[in-house]
Each structure stands twice: as structure tokens, then as C-alpha cells.
Amino acid sequence: MTAALPKLGIVAGAGELPLQIARACERSGRAFHVVAIDEFAAPVPQTMPHARHKISKLGASLKTLKRTGCKDVVFAGKFERPHGRVKLRPDWGGIVFLVRYLAPLGRSDDSLHRAFAHFLSRHAFRVVSPLDADPDLAARKGCLTAHEPTPQQRSTFAGALRLAKSHGATDEGQAIVVADGEIIAREGRTGTDAMLAALPHLANRNAILVKAMKPNQLSTIDPPAIGESTVVNAAKAGLSGILVEAGRSVIVDEPRVRLRGDELGVFVFADVADGL
């Protein structure tokens, strides 16, 4: 059944997620091609079909996806908005995108994601979520680690997810740090790891990291995600655990996340954001 799925184009940013999806395709027999964004993506094994393009060479990326017969496209990994360190020299496809979608580029991240999805749909591609490309990535409800939250902490999870959703409505980020029902840190455009790295070490072991899907965000691009580095940075900040939205969040390399959480005494828990 899986082999009959449309060929998947994996647009690869930073981190391990792109290769995790590619390996899931290899295991299931689904055809795929990786388009690695040069400024962000790690090296791709030579055994995997792939090409590398600069972030501004959108036309070249489109040609690669079409030439290799991809029908579905997934954005996987971390992408940053171009700043001073990224020199933009767009090809014709990039120029067309900038002219057509210039206004959304200055708005929210979700507006930018919707612009990319619309642009690709005009070229007959279907944008899918990493959770569709590899359903095993989805955070399952319950405790991932042997190290568990206390009953008192679990009683606060529904409220913590509501607070994360409230922050997400600002479109500044998907993550917050909560202690005793109060937000003590908010994710900005620099991401979760940067927020945790800037957080002074906390003596309050009730503090937890919370990540959830933003209200009304495009669910196919940039779902909430955690990985081993998230657990390490949470431990460095003195947090007792991590709470993510079940079914809508990505766990990158679940065995390593579980192992590192138990090594560092940080629980990882997924819960449903009821009614949100």
C-alpha cells in the first residue's frame, strides 16, 4: 500500500528530521527525493537521492522536484528567515515568488508558510505534514520516559497547554516555560532552544517546557517538534519536564529523546489540548 503513495519531495532544513523521514520512506518502500537547502541542511548520504540548492534558488528546487517526479512535498527541519548572513541571489523562480508573495514575507510565519503552500499548489504539488510523511513521529498521549511527572504537575497540564495556545496566538512561537501556573519565558522567532539557552538555571523544579500547535496555524508546515537537544537544554535550565500536544507534535528520534530524558531526570509527556 505504501509503495503506491505519491513520490515524496523532502525539502530539508537543519536538524535530523529530514533524514528521519527519508529513512522511514526507505523502510516502507515509498519513493522520495531530498532537496537539501544549502544554508541549513546537514550532508545527505550519497546512497539517498538528493540535490542541494541555495534558499533563494526556488526555481532550481522546483525543477528538481518536477524532474524527479515528486507529487507530495514535506518541509522538514529548521528553517530561518534570511538575514544578513544569507546572501539572496534569487533565480527566476525565486523572483516570481518574491513578486507574487512579497506582502506575506513581512507578516507572520504562518502567512509565509501559507504563501509557500499556495505557490507549490500552483505547480501541482501537495504539501503534507511531517506527521503524514512519517506517522511514527507523532507524540503519543502519555509519558514517553520512565521518569514521570508528579500528580500535582499532571493536574496543571491542561492549563499549561491553554497558556501555550494563548502565546501561539501571538505568532511569536509555539513554546513557553511554565512554573506554578505562570508563564516565566516565551519563545520568540529564534526558537525553542534559544529560549531555553537564555533562561537562567531555575531552582524551581516545578517549571516545565510546554509546546503546542498555534491556533489557526497551517498544520502541514512547522508542527511543534522536540528532539534530544530540547531535552538537554531543558535540563541545563533546571526544568523538570517537557509537555507537548499529543498527536500534533513531532518527536525527533524518540528512542534518543527517551534515553536522554531518563539520564537527565527530565520527563517527556504528551497530552491532548481538550477543546483547543
Give the model confidence (pLDDT) of 130-179 as tens digits.
999 999 999 999 999 999 999 999 999 999 999 999 999 988 899 999 99
Same domain? 155 vs 195: yes
Domain total in the chain:
2
Cα separations in angstroms, 48 against 26, 31, 57, 120, 212: 9, 11, 21, 23, 32
User: What's this model's pTM, rounded to 2 decimal places?
Assistant: 0.86
Q: What is the pLDDT of residue 68?
A: 97
Q: What is the CATH number of the domain that holds 82?
A: 3.40.50.20
Q: What is the pLDDT of residue 137?
A: 96
Same domain? 75 vs 120: yes
Q: Is residue 186 part of a domain?
A: yes
Digit-coded pLDDT (tens) for 94-111: 555 555 545 555 555 666
244 Cβ contact partners less than 8 Å away, ≥ 6 residues apart: 139, 210, 211, 212, 224, 226, 251, 268, 269, 270
Q: What is the pLDDT of residue 117?
A: 79
Q: What is the pLDDT of residue 227?
A: 95
- Residue spans of alpha helices (H) in 1-56: 17-28
129 Cβ contact partners less than 8 Å away, ≥ 6 residues apart: 74, 219, 220, 221, 223
Domain boundary among 133, 151, 185: 133
58 Cβ contact partners less than 8 Å away, ≥ 6 residues apart: 90, 91, 93, 94, 96, 97
Range of the structural domain that residue 17 is part of? 2-133
Q: What is the pLDDT of residue 2?
A: 47
The stretches in the chain having pLDDT less than 50 are: 1-3, 84-86, 101
Cα separation of 169 and 167, whole Å? 5
